[in-house]
Homo-oligomer: A and B are copies of this chain.
């Protein structure tokens, strides 16, 4: 059993209405794609859709086991990637070892704590409107862009926090 990181200890929730909206979308997208709506998939998607923490596969696994003690970690992985392929989730690329998933598909930006790895969304109309410099579009087609702000989160400032290898 791995040591829990700070951000894994304090699950925050997405508001209920939004979760229901995401679940509906899941059901219609899945049906349309001819993908079966299994109990596992529902529960796993709900776990991600209801979290604001950008959980890892293992975090989702832990969140889901009380309700569904027989799931296997590999089903969680397969389901998360399936949901990503269906366009229902987005991944953030591994930070400190593990890929992290999110169900927030709206344009937004990220705050990353380099101490504990906490990763939170924030909105900013001003940043949404950033121009893409030609220095960037020179490399190829541009699909999206967002700002990543790095720092030390309030919890870590206060606690000292278990300092894992930061990524600068």
| Contact in complex: A139, B154 (CB < 8 Å) | yes
| Contact in complex: B127, A133 (CB < 8 Å) | yes
> Can you name the residue of chain B whose Cβ is closest to the Cβ of A140?
B153
| Contact in complex: A143, B136 (CB < 8 Å) | no
> Can you name the residue of chain B whose Cβ is closest to the Cβ of A115?
B140
Does A135 reach chain B (CB closer than 8 Å)? Answer: yes
Each complex incorporates copies of this chain amounting to 2
Taking a contact as CB atoms closer than 8 A, the residue among B91, B124, B145 that contacts A148 in the complex is: B145
* Residues on the B chain within 8 Å of A143, using CB: 114, 150-152
Interface residues of A in 36-93 (CB under 8 A from B): 81, 84, 90-93
Taking a contact as CB atoms closer than 8 A, the residue among B113, B126, B136, B168 that contacts A139 in the complex is: B113
Does A130 reach chain B (CB closer than 8 Å)? Answer: yes
Q: Closest CB of chain B to A4's CB: distance in Å?
A: 19
Does A142 reach chain B (CB closer than 8 Å)? Answer: yes
Complex Cα–Cα for A123 and B136 (A)? 8
| Contact in complex: B122, A141 (CB < 8 Å) | no
Interface residues of A (CB under 8 A from B): 81, 84, 90-97, 99, 109, 111, 113-114, 118, 120, 122-124, 126-127, 130-133, 135-157, 165, 167-168
